[in-house]
Amino acid sequence: MTAQTFDLIVIGGGPGGYVAALRAAQLKLRTALVEREHLGGICLNWGCIPTKSLLHTADTLRSIRHASELGLKVGIPEIDFARVMARSRSIANRLSGGVAHLLKKAGVTVLNGHASFTADQAIEVRAANGDTQQLTAKHTVLATGAHARGLPLLPFDGRRVWNYRDALSATHLPRSLLVIGAGAIGMEFASFFATLGTKVTVVEAQPRVLPGGEAEVSAFVQRSFERDGIAVRTGATVEAATVTTDAVSVNLRTSSGTETLKVERVLVAIGLIGNTDSLGLDHTRVHVERGQIVVDGWGATDAPGVYAIGDLVGAPMLAHKASHQGVACVEHMAGLHEGRQAPQFLVPACTYCHPQTASVGLTEDEARERGVSLRVGRFPLEGNGKAVAIGEASGFVKTLFEANTGMLLGAHIVGPEATELIHGFALASTLEATEAELIETIFPHPTLSEAMHESVLAAFGRALHI
């Protein structure tokens, strides 16, 4: 069989892989991208994008329910659940088609099938019909993403026990739902289903929801969820479970004893596992440790010419991190960063539940564990004119600075449009701005962003509106 030869083969067409392929094409590298399912990967088709469609529906419904507070009289809204889900799928399909168009325009060769290394270091692509073809390249980027981690006591069945993909394919609104795992995925689905009327319980083994984030933000979100009627059980684990044709019974172990819940559906959202299987990595020197491919700062593996990016290389498993890594590793292999040290990525984290959360940099606990001398600023949104005007004055901004240098160490926002605001602090950190530059920056009025400014001022005893 004659092998096609490329400068670069990208395996996986998600936000890391397709962006890497586009950047490679810009750099005039002859590039092939292999994707076994849908261009855009899990993020575009079964994650980031379709869930944001659902959450926008929930936010709109919430606004309608509070319309009377704005002097608007509206009728009781009716939920067409099938149409809600169909809109989510149509948006994903539209954007996946957009990715295909971008790749075609850039001159990237797109191949549909499963790619794996062969014993002679080539790449074999096996199509769904069983046909195979051989590819070779000087460089390969592995960007195969991750899949949902299962719970042995509650294996996914697509009916009573869901993963995120099952939840996005739901045909009717469940009366009750148990969400196991209070990370971003679990909290977003809990927020969506509860807003539409499902009785939701969230269970988390760690002491708090959103366990990887800022403790004050986690506490605020939990209180908000509970006010919205969502039951939250932290420090709780599943001891036993029984799945029947019409319900799921789950026994929980909590700090106060045991509890039994009977629900219509269970969503297991306890994390992700990188897709390293079936890639033929045993034919390479690629090293996998605890389910993650070991790479250097440029994404290079122990196998010459083989790189890995995104979820495959570990947390944070976020689309924007994968895209950024994809660009960096392609530019490195193309020689654009000769002699430069590998970049230290500062990755913002966002959760799109209600209320939204967004963070960048260190948490206060992390900073104190490092022995850093801190200045901490907090500003409540109830002191922000725009937040009050739009009826969204619940939340706060928190900033952390190194006391002696004024270096911005971390920033955390909870409340309206938090995910749209956090880039300001990310940009400031990238530019190595200190408190002096941030204090001197003029933030427009009236905007939610003024709360960011006030939080910086608060860290140095200069807050004006509190």
Residues with a catalytic annotation lie at 445
Distance (Å, rounded) from C-alpha 32 to C-alpha 121? 16
Whose CA is closest to 343, among 292, 392, 296?
296
Rounded CA separation 261/115 (Å): 43
The token duo for 300 is 């290079």
Query: What SS3 string covers the chain?
Result: CCCEEEEEEEECCCCCHHHHHHHHHHCCCCEEEEECCCCCHHHHHHCHHHHHHHHHHHHHHHHHHCHHHHCCCCCCCCCCHHHHHHHHHHHHHHHHHHHHHHHHHHCCEEEECEEEECCCCCEEEECCCCCEEEEEEEEEEECCCEEECCECCECCCCCCEECHHHHCCCCCCCCEEEEECCCHHHHHHHHHHHHHCCEEEEEECCCCCCCCCCHHHHHHHHHHHHHCCCEEEECCEEEEEEECCCCEEEEEEECCEEEEEEECEEEECCCEEECCCCCCHHHCCCCEECCEECCCCCCECCCCCEEECHHHHCCCCCHHHHHHHHHHHHHHHCCCCCCCCCCCCCCCEEECCCCCEEEEECCHHHHHHCCCCEEEEEEEHHHCHHHHHCCCCCCEEEEEEECCCCEEEEEEEECCCHHHHCHHHHHHHHCCCEHHHHHHCCCCCCCCCHHHHHHHHHHCCCCCCC
The residue among 365, 28, 321, 305 whose CA lies nearest residue 139 is 305
Sheet bearing 237-243, strands edge to edge: 237-243, 248-254, 257-263
Q: CA 84 to CA 78: how far, in whole Å?
A: 11
